[in-house]
Amino acid sequence: MCGIFGYVNYLVEKTRGDISDTLIEGLQRLEYRGYDSAGIAIDGDKADETLIFKQIGKVGALKKEVESQNLDRTATFVNHAGIAHTRWATHGEPKTVNCHPHRSDINNEFVIVHNGIITNYRELKTLLKQKGYTFESDTDTECIAKLFKHIYDTNIKNGNEPDFNELMKQVLYEIDGSYGLLVKSSHYPNEVVATRKGSPLLVGVKTEKKLKVDFVDVEFPDELPNNEAPINGNTHQNGGLLPVAQGDSGLRHSQSRAFLSEDGIPQPAEFFLSSDPASVIQHTKKVLFLEDDDIAHIYDGELHIHRATREAGISATRSIQTLEMELAQIMKGPFSHFMQKEIYEQPESTFNTMRGRIDFDNHIVKLGGLQKWLTTIRRCRRIIMIACGTSYHSCLATRSIFEELTEIPVSVELASDFLDRRSPVFRDDTCIFVSQSGETADSMLALQYCLERDALTVGVVNSVGSSISRATHCGVHINAGPEIGVASTKAYTSQYIALVMIALSLSDDRVSKINRRHEIIDGLKQIPEQIKTVLTLESKIKDLCTSELAQQKSLLLLGRGYQFASALEGALKIKEISYMHSEGVLAGELKHGVLALVDDQLPIIAFATRDSLFPKVMSSIEQVTARSGRPIIIHNTDDKSINTDKALATLEVPLSVDCLQGLLNVIPLQLISYWLAVNRGIDVDFPRNLAKSVTVE
C-alpha cells in the first residue's frame, strides 16, 4: 500500500540537495502504490541532528515543503543515510502527525518508515506509555520508533552498546504483524537497518568497481555454547520489555565478501532501499531482494544480511540480481497517463506473454514454469482460482475454457471471501493465484491458507520476485512489463492469455480436444494485431464520452457467457477511474430485476459479439430497446444482423474465437473509462481512495 525508500551514500560526495532530490524522486516513482501523504528524514547541520519533513497530499507537496525550509542545499555529505515514505492511511487519518518517518522522541534519536501493520501495537503503546513515552500520532508505526529507543536505552543502562542490527533483532522480538521497515538513528550515524515480513523490500547496490561476488552471505547468530537466541526479553512472555542482549554485540567481525576490495581500502558505494524495483532502476540494475525476517544492515559501504535464528531450509546467501526492467518502461513516453500508455501497450504486452511459449506453427504451448507440474495438476480433483479485483475478472473470463479443455471442475474465488468462509481446501486441490503485483494481502493470505493445507499452489503473476511469485510452488509470469496506472489494463489481457495458455498446456494430452486447441492457438496468434485494430476506435470513443455519456450518472453493461467477465471488468474500470456508478449485469438476469431501471435515459453497453449465446444477447437487447432504451452495442466488424437504428452507438471489434473474444471486447471499455475520467478532470493514474498494490487486509 505505502511505499518506502532509503538512500545511503558512502565515500560518495553528495550535497543535501542531491540527497533530498534522490529521496523525493524515489518516492515519486512509488506514488502509484499509495499517496495521501509523504515524508523524509535526512541529516541536519549539527552532529547527531536528524531533520524530518512531512506533508499531506502528493509527493510534489513534500518537495515544496522541503524547498520552503531554507536549508543549505549545498552542504556536502561524504557519508549519509536518508529514509523516506509515501503513505496510504490505514491507522489514523491523513494528517501531518500521522505521516512517516515516525520518531522515538523529540530529539529524533530513532526515525523509521514502515509498510504494513503492527497487530500488537495497542499493547505495545500501553506498555510504552506506562514507561513514560508520549505518542504524537494515531499510527501503529510510532510504537516501533519508541520501542527502538526504549530497548536501546535499556541496553545502555545494562552496560551494553548493541550493534544496530542487534538492536533491530531485539525490537523484532517484540512486534507482531507485517512490515517493511527502514530505521535511521543518530546513535548509528550514516547507517540504516532494514527488515521485512510479508511486505516487499529490496536493496539496490551501486559501486564504481565490479562487486567481488554477486551474492551476500547471510550472517546467523553466533552459535553460543548454550545455543540460545541472544535475546530473552519478550513482552509476550514477561511483559517487561527488558532485553538482555549479549551475543556478538558491538563486534563487527564479519566482512561482506561482495564488497571486499583487493587492497582492503574501503570502496565508495551507494545503496537504494525500496519496496519496489521501479524506484531503484534509474540508479542501478543490481538488486538484492530481502527474504522475510532478513535484517539488512548497511554501514561503511557494505551490505550485511543478518538473521535472528538459524532455521532449517534458509539459504546462506542472497544473490545480487540484475534487473532487466528498463527505465523507459516505467516512463510515460508520449502518453498523457500511464493508464493510456498501458492500454496502448497491449499489442506488445499480449505478444510478450506468449513470446517463446507458443509454437504457432506446430500448435504447441510450453510454459517453462509449469512443465514439471502438469501431471500433478492434471490429477487434481478440482482447480480453485483465487484473486482480487481485475485479476479476479481474468479468472472469471477463463473459467469456462478451463473446464472445457481440462474437464476438471473449476471454482473462482475472491480471496477475501474465500478466507472469510474458511473454505475447505484439500491436498489434492490445485489453487491458482492470479495477481498483477504479487503482493495483494488478501491473495497472499489465501495462499498461506492453501499452503498450510498442502494444496498445490500455482501463481499467475506479473511482478517477478514478488511475494506470491516466490511463495507458490510453481507458476507463470505474465511478462506484461511494469503496470503503473492504478486501473489495471494490460495486466488483465496478459493474465487472461496466461490462463488460457495454462488450460491449453493441461489439455495437450487430450486427443478429443485437438481441433479446439488448434482453433484457440490460431486465435491467440492474431490477438496482438486485432488489439491494434480495436485501438483505432479511440477517437469515436472519445467523442461518445464528450457527448452522449458526458453528463450521465450511471451506466449498465450487459454480457452473457464469456462476455459476463467483460461486463464486470468494464464496470469496474468505469467505477474506479471516472467515479461513475456502473454495473455489470448478466444479460440472462435482466428480466429478473434490472429491467426496472431501463428507460430512455440510462446508458447501457451491450456485448453482442458472435458466439453460441449471440441470439440470447440479441433478445436481451430487444428487451432494452422495447422499453425505449438506446444501447451502445459492441459487435463484430460488418455484422449485418445488428439493428443500428435503435442503438445510441455501435463499436465494431474484430471476430475472434469465442473464449478469446473478451480480450478484444474489454479494450473499448478501458478507453471509455479513460476518456470519461479525463473529461471529468480526474487524475486517471491516481484515482481517489484507491491504491495500486493493496498490501493490507
Evaluate whether 307 touches 169 at the Cβ level (below 8 Å).
no
Q: How far is the CB of 437 from ligand UD1 (least distance, A)?
A: 12
3 state DSSP class of 241: coil
The residues facing 299 across adjacent strands are 302
Q: Which residues, numbered 484-503, are part of the site for ligand BG6 (CB under 6 A)? A: 486, 488
For ligand UD1, which residue of 369, 482, 584, 687 counts as binding (CB under 6 A)? 369
Evaluate whether 230 touches 221 at the Cβ level (below 8 Å).
yes
Q: How far is the CB of 692 from ligand BG6 (least distance, A)?
A: 6
Q: Which does 443 bind (CB under 5 to 8 A by kind): ligand UD1, ligand BG6, none?
A: ligand BG6
Query: Quick one: DSSP state of residue 367?
Result: -
Evaluate whether 62 touches 38 at the Cβ level (below 8 Å).
yes
Residue 34 as a binder of ligand UD1 (CB under 6 A): the answer is no
Q: What angle do CA 322, 328, 332 make, to 5 degrees?
A: 140
- Considering only 91-99, 222-230, 294-302, 435-443, which stretch makes contact with ligand BG6 by CB under 6 A? 435-443
Q: Which does 477 bind (CB under 5 to 8 A by kind): ligand UD1, ligand BG6, none?
A: ligand UD1
Q: Are strands 76-77 and 110-118 parallel, antiparallel or unpaired?
A: unpaired
- The active-site residue, picked from 2, 99, 388, 450, is 2
The residues facing 37 across adjacent strands are 56, 87
Q: Which does 461 bind (CB under 5 to 8 A by kind): ligand UD1, ligand BG6, none?
A: ligand UD1
2 part of the active site: yes
Q: Which does 472 bind (CB under 5 to 8 A by kind): ligand BG6, ligand UD1, none?
A: ligand UD1
- Considering only 198-206, 458-466, 540-548, 571-579, which stretch makes contact with ligand UD1 by CB under 6 A? 458-466
For ligand BG6, give the closer residue by CB, 133 or 686.
Answer: 686
Angle between the N-to-C axes of helices 514-535 and 346-354, in degrees from 0 to 180, rounded to the nearest 10? 160
466's CB contacts (< 8 A; 6+ apart) are: 200, 435, 437, 438, 439
Count interface residues toward ligand UD1 (CB under 6 A): 12
Angle between the N-to-C axes of helices 346-354 and 490-506, in degrees from 0 to 180, rounded to the nearest 10? 20
Residue 469 as a binder of ligand UD1 (CB under 6 A): the answer is yes
The residues facing 461 across adjacent strands are 435, 477
Q: How many CB atoms lie within 10 A of CB 278?
A: 22
For ligand UD1, give the closer residue by CB, 401 or 474.
Answer: 474
Q: Which residues, numbered 98-117, are part of the site for ligand UD1 (CB under 6 A)? A: none
- Give the Å distances, CA to CA, from 116 to 355, 568, 585: 36, 30, 36
HSE-CB at 57 with a 13 A cutoff on CA atoms is 7
Residue 112 as a binder of ligand BG6 (CB under 6 A): the answer is no
- Considering only 25-33, 327-335, 473-481, 581-589, which stretch makes contact with ligand UD1 by CB under 6 A? 473-481
Q: Which does 690 bind (CB under 5 to 8 A by kind): ligand UD1, ligand BG6, none?
A: ligand BG6
Radius of gyration of the chain (CA): 27
Q: How far is the CB of 469 from ligand BG6 (least distance, A)?
A: 11
- Considering only 101-109, 475-483, 540-548, 637-645, which stretch makes contact with ligand UD1 by CB under 6 A? 475-483
Residue 467 as a binder of ligand BG6 (CB under 6 A): the answer is no
Q: Which does 182 bind (CB under 5 to 8 A by kind): ligand BG6, ligand UD1, none?
A: none
Residue 475 as a binder of ligand UD1 (CB under 6 A): the answer is yes
Residue 288 as a binder of ligand UD1 (CB under 6 A): the answer is no
In 357-392, which positions are buried (b, 16+ CB within 10 angstroms) versus exposed (e)? bbeeeebebebebbeebbeebbebeebbbbbbbbbb
Can you tell me which residue has the cell 487524475? 683
For ligand UD1, which residue of 260, 464, 535, 595 counts as binding (CB under 6 A)? 464
- Considering only 279-287, 310-318, 470-478, 625-633, which stretch makes contact with ligand UD1 by CB under 6 A? 470-478
Q: Which does 485 bind (CB under 5 to 8 A by kind): ligand UD1, ligand BG6, none?
A: none
For ligand BG6, which residue of 28, 37, 199, 436 counts as binding (CB under 6 A)? 436
Sheet holding 581-586, edge to edge: 581-586, 554-559, 604-608, 632-636, 649-653
Q: How far apart are CA 147 and CA 170, in angstroms?
A: 9
Evaluate whether 419 touches 446 at the Cβ level (below 8 Å).
yes
The residues facing 182 across adjacent strands are 113, 194
Sign, CA torsion 65/71/73/76: negative
Residue 566 as a binder of ligand UD1 (CB under 6 A): the answer is no
The site string for ligand BG6 over 356-395 (x = CB under 6 A, - otherwise) reads --------------------------------xxxx----
Query: Quick one: DSSP state of residue 31?
Result: G
Q: How far apart are CA 355 and CA 497, in angstroms?
A: 11
Q: How far apart are CA 577 and CA 213, in angstroms?
A: 46
For ligand BG6, give the closer residue by CB, 19 or 567.
Answer: 567
Q: Which residues bind ligand UD1 (CB under 6 A)?
A: 368-369, 459, 461, 464, 468-469, 472, 474-477
Residues labelled as active-site residues: 2
Binding residues vs ligand BG6 (CB under 6 A)? 388-391, 435-437, 440, 443, 486, 488, 690, 692-694
